[in-house]
Structure 1
Amino acid sequence: MPKPDPALLDPARYPFTCTMEPRFGDLDVNLHINNVAMAGMLEDARVRFHHRTGYRELVAGHTSMVASIAIEYLGEASYPQSVAIACAVEHIGRTSHRLVQLVLQDGGPIVFARIVLVVVGPEGPSPLPESFAASARPWMLRA
């Protein structure tokens, strides 16, 4: 994935942010938060985002799965400073939607991620409920 558009590195564009504390066990041999731990933090932030947005109710009767995830490491994350993880819906398609996430430490961007989630029903990929787009509007990436 190429470096993200600098406009995507503005935390004011994201409607949701949570803070996480890295653990000592998250460190690599260079005493930076390792990539696997960071991917786990991004996952946890997505779940918190979905909890806050009422996502389960928005896709009632269906589930979703990650179809694609791209993580761009922009800088090093260190211990023990907390990280802020911002999330937003970037795009809504017919059976999927795309989220973007921005991780900041000490006010600077250190990770950018783009995730495609597909809505799945008993027969496989399913169209998003008609109400999804309107309900997701407050959680969209801000202009």
Structure 2
Amino acid sequence: MSRPDPALLLPARYRFVHELTTRFADLDPNDHINNVAMAAVFEDGRVRFQATIGFQRTEALRPMVASVSIDYLAQAHYPGTLACYVGVAAIGRSSWTLQQLVTQAGTAVGTCNTVIVMTDGQRATPLPDAFRGVLEQWSLT
């Protein structure tokens, strides 16, 4: 596994953060938070980010995750708090890319890159200009 760009490991670059508490149920046999639970942390952060920016799914505008790439950088532990940072990394014609960073006690434990495509339920559709403007406000700094 190649290490992520060091610039992606700087929490100050991200405009959104959500903190959550680790759960005992998320431990694996090695006593660290398992990979499936970490994937759920990224998913929860992504969904909370979209709610915070006011994204409203409609019948005509349905986001679909097209790609998710997770890099696990260090072990996360129970008990403890995780901070999930989210920023917009790219905006395309009909898609946007979110970059995420999860830290625990100041240590980067994982990154996630997610491509989301706006669809009409069947095929890709251009991002509405108003939504594009909102995404631009949440770009990585």
Secondary structure of the 1:140 match is coil
Q: State the alpha-carbon separation in 2 of the partners of residues 84 and 18 from structure 1.
A: 6
Q: Does 1:81 align with 2:113?
A: no
Q: State the alpha-carbon separation in 2 of the partners of residues 70 and 135 from structure 1.
A: 24
User: Which residue identity is paired with 2:30?
Assistant: N
Give how far 1:80 is off: 0.5
Q: State the alpha-carbon separation in 2 of the partners of residues 8 and 60 from structure 1.
A: 34
More deviation, 122-131/37-46: 122-131
Secondary structure of the 1:136 match is helix
Q: Does 1:22 align with 2:22?
A: yes
Q: State the alpha-carbon separation in 1 of the partners of residues 32 and 52 from structure 2.
A: 29
Q: State the alpha-carbon separation in 2 of the partners of residues 135 and 41 from structure 1.
A: 23
Q: State the alpha-carbon separation in 1 of the partners of residues 101 and 64 from structure 2.
A: 20
Match of 1:135 in 2: 134
More deviation, 128-137/11-20: 128-137
Q: How many residues align?
A: 141
Q: Does 1:70 align with 2:72?
A: no
Amino-acid identity (%):
45
Q: TM-score, normalised by structure 1?
A: 0.93
Secondary structure of the 1:76 match is coil
Give how far 1:20 is off: 0.8
Q: State the alpha-carbon separation in 2 of the partners of residues 60 and 74 from structure 1.
A: 38
Q: Does 1:119 align with 2:118?
A: yes
Match of 1:102 in 2: 101
Could you list the per-position Cα deviations for residues 70-95 of structure 1 after superposition, in whole angstroms to 9, with x for gaps in the alignment? 00001000001110000001000011
Give how far 1:60 is off: 7.8
Which consecutive segments of 4 or more residues in structure 1 shift more than 6 A?
Answer: none
Q: Structure 1 unaligned segments of length 5 or more: list them.
A: none
Q: TM-score, normalised by structure 2?
A: 0.94
Secondary structure of the 1:124 match is coil
